[in-house]
Amino acid sequence: MGNRPAEDTAIISETELRGIVAQILERNGCRSEVAEILAANCVGAERDGSVSHGLFRVEGYIASLRSGWVDGAAVPVLEDKAPGCLAVDAKNGFTQIALDLAREEFTARIRQNGIALLLIRNSHHLAALWPDVEPFAEEGLIALSMINSMTCSVPQGAKKPVFGTNPFALAAPAGKEGMLVFDMATTTTAHGDVQVARREGHMLPPGTGVDRDGNPTGDPAKILDGGALVPFGGHKGSLISLMVELLCAGLGGGHFSWEFDWSGHPGAATPHTGQIFIGIDPSKAGGLPFGMRAETLVEKLREAGLSHLPGRRRHDLRAARAGQVPVAAARLAHLRDLAEGRAG
Amino acid sequence: MGNRPAEDTAIISETELRGIVAQILERNGCRSEVAEILAANCVGAERDGSVSHGLFRVEGYIASLRSGWVDGAAVPVLEDKAPGCLAVDAKNGFTQIALDLAREEFTARIRQNGIALLLIRNSHHLAALWPDVEPFAEEGLIALSMINSMTCSVPQGAKKPVFGTNPFALAAPAGKEGMLVFDMATTTTAHGDVQVARREGHMLPPGTGVDRDGNPTGDPAKILDGGALVPFGGHKGSLISLMVELLCAGLGGGHFSWEFDWSGHPGAATPHTGQIFIGIDPSKAGGLPFGMRAETLVEKLREAGLSHLPGRRRHDLRAARAGQVPVAAARLAHLRDLAEGRAG
């Protein structure tokens, strides 16, 4: 994930790479606006070193689209529920498109009311959450987001998986420090990282998940083949994961992580659930400017010896790469083939 | 914490016990309304078996009040910041009084807007968070609350304590299942439980905190005497704790956990920080009734073998005790002495 490419690594501009990925997505059934939004998300993650949510996801998108599981041409519908509450029926399309539709009005509601809620249902998500929340922090707003996924995690104290990886993300402006942003699976690790570990043949820490008999394991193959992940942090992390199910599916109207059946869609990889956003306008709170207070917190953390601030490694890599993304040459060639229809 | 008293245990009605605690608080400088609210909170925790936040806290209240650190007679002031955002300056009093002042208007704003934010600053809190959020769930609303406390927790990757125990709580209506409610310190354990462990002479799990040299320990004395707690769940729990600091102090206008100096007030035990609430009206979200969806989640968790639902143990104990609270006889006698001014 460093910035110096190995010999078999190509350097390609973010713009060109986005074009290639968008072309792949269009070729597989996305309308052009959908393809562009998903490509920007996917290439942005690759650029920032979030490889488990970057180009690695392209095959998942293709398989989900081809199997008819997700509708790449879906046109989401915005619903006005209350002065501080908007909802979007994603019509079996991607949440990012639903968010894009709602963004302007949601931002206006946040600024008018001080806080607003956006509920997205009937939607699919196969990406990181930080690309969803960061743009709000760039506008001076605080954004929280949660999304439930597919059943793959055994709640603390239970015997069978119920929860998804159920990530939880926050982005907040931080004055001179840019922004504070985190995006965490509420499982021990993200599902994408388990898949990467299996592909690359390395073990995860013991207790990352359980095997098919419920025994703790760090073997990605045992976790993926009939086993499951577990929530991070024992019963407390399990409660955070429960909150994500409750708010995304219970409140937001999406499926719970176990409520969709993709068995008739071989290759389907995009959980069909719900996502919620809570947006806050800190300028409405009064008192000292929020950014100054966030700077104070960052300074204190630095003084206490914290070297990695949340989100900073990605942002540093983004700045260092300056729009140029390293990609394994063979991988890039394959992506070009997919884009041109020379590979399936 | 069982329901059958030992021989040296007295049974007293919740009402009478509230009266005794309120009298103690009034005798130490609380105006009567403040004394009644805090006594109800404290006795409610004892009744529910939350002993670390029950009568155990009485001496902390007394010491904080007598030292002049907290103002038991303070009259909080409600501020209207935006249609969805209220704030309260607690005027160096207790957050529970600020919440009581704001409750009616905050509830109205939640119902009008679908979501609302309440920011409490210049406030003290020495109690559990679930008594703050449960009343909203009883009204059919979802409530989230966070509060930062006093520096006693070393962020993951740092060398010195920065964060407080920084609890995070949620209460949500759950139809026939009553409510789902959790209240967790974002440290490995609550500070009150470390104090109880030291008093009772038992060890906590290894890694609950660090000693004064930064070595992991489960010895409550080493954690309390120059050592510190750590966040639950490694870097992910540490990020949740960071969020609590950022939102309570950065957004809400309270002190960060390290920003108050109580050294001139010997015995002061009440952190002088900030607390925030996010309230959501699930009836505004549309779709299936939220309570029904919460029931579905509870059923699924039960099927998966989860025996303890969040908050259920407390609620079962509350029902079983039916307003009668067991208290060690010697402890009750001492509380009566404090109330009557026969003990100091």
User: What percent of chain B clears pLDDT 90, i.e. is strictly above it?
Assistant: 93
DSSP category for residue B233 = T
CA within 13 Å, CB half, B172: 30
Inspect the interface and report whether the beta carbons of A284 and B81 lie closer than 8 Å: yes
The mean pLDDT of A10-36, rounded to a whole number, is 98
Per the CB < 8 A criterion, the answer to whether B35 and B97 are in contact is no
Inspect the interface and report whether the beta carbons of B87 and A285 lie closer than 8 Å: yes
- Other C-beta atoms closer than 10 Å to the C-beta of A4 total 6
Q: Give which of B89, B236, B302 to mutate to test A binding, by max A Cβ within 10 Å.
A: B236
Give the model's confidence band at A2: pLDDT under 50 very low, under 70 low, under 90 confident, else very high. very low
Give the model's confidence band at A7: pLDDT under 50 very low, under 70 low, under 90 confident, else very high. low
Gap between the Cα atoms of B163 and A123, Å rounded? 37
Residues in A closer than 8 angstroms to B184, CB to CB, are: 236, 239
Domains of chain A: 1-66+322-344 (1.10.1530.10), 77-187+230-310 (3.30.1370.60)
Residue B5 scores a pLDDT above 60: no
Tell me if chain B has a CB within 8 Å of the CB of A115: yes
In 3D space, the residue among A102, A182, A176 whose CA is nearest the CA of residue A142 turns out to be: A182
Tell me how close the Cα of B255 comes to any Cα of chain A, in angstroms. Answer: 10
Residue B4 scores a pLDDT above 90: no
C-alpha B85: how far from its chain's center? 22
Inspect the interface and report whether the beta carbons of B250 and A85 lie closer than 8 Å: no
Gap between the Cα atoms of B43 and B97, Å rounded? 16
User: Which strands, in side-by-side order, build the sheet including A179-184?
Assistant: A77-82, A85-94, A115-124, A272-280, A142-147, A168-173, A179-184
For A238-286, what is each residue's pLDDT tens digit? 999 999 999 999 999 999 999 999 999 999 999 999 999 999 999 999 8
Q: pLDDT: is A7 or A185 the higher one?
A: A185
pLDDT reported for residue B293: 97
Angle at B337 between CA B335 and CA B341, to 5 degrees: 120
pLDDT reported for residue B192: 84
pLDDT reported for residue B12: 98
- Taking only residues 164 to 223 of chain A, the set having a beta carbon closer than 8 angstroms to any beta carbon of chain B reads 170, 172, 180, 182, 184, 186
Nearest to A296 among B157, B242, B256 (CB): B256
Residue A307 scores a pLDDT above 90: no
Per the CB < 8 A criterion, the answer to whether B144 and B167 are in contact is no
pLDDT reported for residue A1: 44
The mean pLDDT of A63-70, rounded to a whole number, is 97
pLDDT reported for residue B182: 97
pLDDT reported for residue B6: 62
Per the CB < 8 A criterion, the answer to whether A183 and A313 are in contact is no
pLDDT reported for residue A286: 86
DSSP category for residue B52 = G
Tell me how close the Cα of B138 comes to any Cα of chain A, in angstroms. Answer: 16
pLDDT reported for residue A4: 57
Gap between the Cα atoms of B39 and A271, Å rounded? 48
pLDDT reported for residue A344: 79
C-alpha B82: how far from its chain's center? 27
Residue B45 scores a pLDDT above 50: yes
Residues in B closer than 8 angstroms to A116, CB to CB, are: 84, 113, 115
For B84-128, what is each residue's pLDDT tens digit? 999 999 999 999 999 999 999 999 999 999 999 999 999 999 999
pLDDT reported for residue A168: 97
Q: What is the mean pLDDT of chain A?
A: 95
Tell me if chain B has a CB within 8 Å of the CB of A308: yes
Nearest to B256 among A85, A297, A305 (CB): A297
Tell me how close the Cα of A85 comes to any Cα of chain B, in angstroms. Answer: 6
Tell me if chain A has a CB within 8 Å of the CB of B142: yes
Q: What is the mean pLDDT of chain B?
A: 95
The packing angle between helices A14-27 and A32-47, to 10°, is 140
In total, chain A counts a number of residues equal to: 344
Nearest to A113 among B84, B186, B303 (CB): B84
Residue B186, helix vs strand vs coil = coil
Residue B313, helix vs strand vs coil = helix
Show the DSSP H helices in B139-289 as ranges.
191-200, 220-224, 234-245
pLDDT reported for residue B307: 86
Gap between the Cα atoms of A33 and A134, Å rounded? 20
The mean pLDDT of B154-176, rounded to a whole number, is 96
Residues 6+ apart with CB under 8 A from B91: B71, B74, B75, B76, B77, B122
The mean pLDDT of A102-124, rounded to a whole number, is 98
Chain A residue with CA closest to B278: the answer is: A115
Catalytic residue among B89, B132, B183, B193: B193
Per the CB < 8 A criterion, the answer to whether B117 and B278 are in contact is yes
Q: Which two tokens stand for residue A256?
A: 């719970």
Q: Distances in Å between the alpha carbon of B86 and those of A232, B83, B90, B105?
A: 34, 8, 13, 8
Gap between the Cα atoms of B232 and B166, Å rounded? 11
Inspect the interface and report whether the beta carbons of A114 and B82 lie closer than 8 Å: yes
For B312-336, what is each residue's pLDDT tens digit? 999 999 999 999 999 999 999 999 9
In 3D space, the residue among B119, B124, B145, B148 whose CA is nearest the CA of residue B258 turns out to be: B148
Inspect the interface and report whether the beta carbons of A116 and B84 lie closer than 8 Å: yes
Inspect the interface and report whether the beta carbons of B115 and A116 lie closer than 8 Å: yes
Q: Give which of B186, B229, B284 to mutate to test A binding, by max A Cβ within 10 Å.
A: B284
Tell me how close the Cα of A23 comes to any Cα of chain B, in angstroms. Answer: 36
Per the CB < 8 A criterion, the answer to whether B285 and A251 are in contact is yes
Tell me if chain B has a CB within 8 Å of the CB of A228: no
**3 state SS for chain A:** CCCCCCCCEEEEEHHHHHHHHHHHHHHCCCCHHHHHHHHHHHHHHHHCCCHHHCHHHHHHHHHHHHCCCCCCCCCCEEEEEECCEEEEEEEEEEHHHHHHHHHHHHHHHHHHHCEEEEEEEEEECCCCCHHHHHHHHHCCCEEEEEECCCCCECCCCCCCCCECCCCEEEEEECHHHCEEEEEECCECCCHHHHHHHHHHCCCCCCCCEECCCCCEECCHHHHHCCCEECECCHHHHHHHHHHHHHHHHHHCCCCCCCCCCCCCCCCCCCCEEEEEEEEECHHHCCCCCHHHHHHHHHHHHHHCCCCCCCCHHHHHHHHHHCCEEEEEHHHHHHHHHHHHCCCC
Residue B1 scores a pLDDT above 60: no
The mean pLDDT of A182-203, rounded to a whole number, is 93
Q: Which two tokens stand for residue B50?
A: 């939350």
Distance, first Cα to last Cα, chain A: 28
Q: pLDDT: is B343 or A125 the higher one?
A: A125
Tell me if chain B has a CB within 8 Å of the CB of A150: no
Residue B148, helix vs strand vs coil = coil
Q: pLDDT: is A196 or B122 the higher one?
A: B122
Residue A165 scores a pLDDT above 60: yes
Residue B68 scores a pLDDT above 60: yes
- Other C-beta atoms closer than 10 Å to the C-beta of A303 total 13
Q: Which two tokens stand for residue A274?
A: 């719900």
Residue A6 scores a pLDDT above 70: no
Give the model's confidence band at B162: pLDDT under 50 very low, under 70 low, under 90 confident, else very high. very high
In total, chain B counts a number of residues equal to: 344
pLDDT reported for residue A196: 87
Inspect the interface and report whether the beta carbons of B180 and A306 lie closer than 8 Å: no
The mean pLDDT of A51-75, rounded to a whole number, is 95
For B281-301, what is each residue's pLDDT tens digit? 999 998 899 999 999 999 999
- Other C-beta atoms closer than 10 Å to the C-beta of B185 total 27
Residues in B closer than 8 angstroms to A258, CB to CB, are: 300
Q: What is the dihedral of CA B262, B263, B264, B269, to 10 degrees?
A: 50
